[in-house]
Amino acid sequence: MAQVLEFKLPDLGEGLTEAEIVRWLVEVGDVVAIDQPVVEVETAKAMVEVPCPYGGVVTARFGEEGTELPVGAPLLTVAVGAPEGASGSAAFPSSSASPSSSGKGSGSGAESSGGSGNVLVGYGTGAPAARRRRIRPDRLDRAVAEAPVSGAPVVEVLVAEAPVSDGPVPVVSPLVRRLARQHDIDLRRLAGSGPDGLILRADVDRAIRTAEETAAATARAAQAPARSRAKPSTPSAPVAAAPNGVAAAAGAERIPLRGVRGAVADKLSRSRTEIPDATCWVDADATELMAVRAAMNAATGPSAGPKVSVLALLARICTAALARFPELNATVDTEAREIVRLPGVHLGFAAQTERGLVVPVVRDAHTRNAESIGAEIARLTELARTGKLSPAQLTGGTFTLNNYGVFGVDGSTPIINHPEAAMLGVGRIMPKPWVHQGELAVRQVVQLSLTFDHRVCDGGTAGGFLRYVADCVEQPAVLLRTL
């Protein structure tokens, strides 16, 4: 007899508490194997494919694409094991042969139906799965065969006890019952559109819309006589205001702050609230740096190597500058009222993607040369563009490099990437008139800006850091002192 197991959204690590469903990888009625990815979710830090620890037939999916679910909320249910009366070949792949249970002697029945245990950080299936009420095989077969597999709301076929009043109500999903209770919908008055007259969520949603339209029409009819009796000089009512005081203009679009955009909003707001930042900037002649890069990339023979980007050279300059000014490779412990200077440089760099702004981190950048840093930046940038960065690759930075020059702008005052202490911003490199060796000439000029936490250092330290970076840009040979 089939056992229906519920798979919940696992702990995704890094302190994340919710995720948004981006794309379902399975449909109701599909047969899934143990550890097969079943859904793609987006957290505040990355896109993650979530594997299911059970093998069997998907009987329900909880949530449509775009729905945000908290950790621990049901994702889907899987019917594990063969129905009674099945032939020698099981109708569903059983999870009893999972690697976690093999080689452990005779286990319990609950253990034999457990999953692989290989879900995500902080989530395991080694413990016996919570037992759910079983479904009659004929009901399960009909539900799987007739369940919708398109964009229509998916029916949950997990059996729930129905309150009896003048006969049973044909509702299986507890979520559908709760939705009906929240909107005072009498399920006995609804005709279900599912198998055997089953009441689906779509039926309840339709009833809710009908009730709302009826209530709105009644309200308009009640207001009509009052408007007809009103005096012509009566001023119009003020525009209704939203709870936060923003006028609710007709046709205004409200976009939820969630996912990457929500995480960015929270981090930037916290940075502005907690960090007393200051910014200094300087123009630098990058002509020599561009010439050195061209020479490096034009090298042939044994000395040839991968192309080195300007961002990689600037990153290497940053690591050299932080070695001279370690005060900026730090963070502030507000509870202990201490400045924590960090031993290694984990260099973040801002990358704009279709999902929004992300900051991948080059680990141990202080131990890498320009070629190694460039290769890692290219690898992380490709992962960012495809949405495959893991949370670990987006956290733990100690200093950030922001190349906003790619947007065609000269300068900016960056917001520090909390809880770091500084960020270097780089504008576009473009030809400008410049006094070079006492004469006016056209040179490749770039504006550099440093935003720093005034708690970790004074302006002299910040100015010294920025001046050293500018000197390395203008005279790359300065870097030879640290190689």
How much helix, strand and coil, in percent to the nearest 5, is found in the chain? 35, 20, 45
Q: Say how far apart CA 449 and CA 257 lie, in whole Å.
A: 29
Angle at 478 between CA 444 and CA 289, to 5 degrees: 25
Q: How far apart are CA 471 and CA 214, in angstroms?
A: 72
Q: Give residue for tokens 């899987």.
A: 78
Residue among 163, 170, 159 nearest 195 (CA):
170
CA of residue 214 relative to chain centroid, distance:
39
| Residue 247 per-residue DSSP state | B
Residues in the chain, how many? 483
Catalytic residue among 183, 364, 454, 471: 454
In 243-346, beta strands by DSSP E: 277-285, 330-333, 338-341
Per annotation, catalytic residue among 166, 266, 458, 471: 458
As given in the structure block, the two tokens for residue 179 are: 């939705």
Does residue 37 sit in helix, strand or coil? strand
Rounded to whole angstroms, how far apart are CA atoms 365 and 397? 10
Q: Which of 12, 120, 14 shows the shortest CA–CA distance to 392?
A: 14
Q: What is the DSSP letter of 318?
A: H
Q: Which residue has the tokens 């079943």?
A: 38
Residue 354 corresponds to which tokens in the numbers above? 């279709």
Catalytic residue status for 436: no
Which residues are designated catalytic?
454, 458
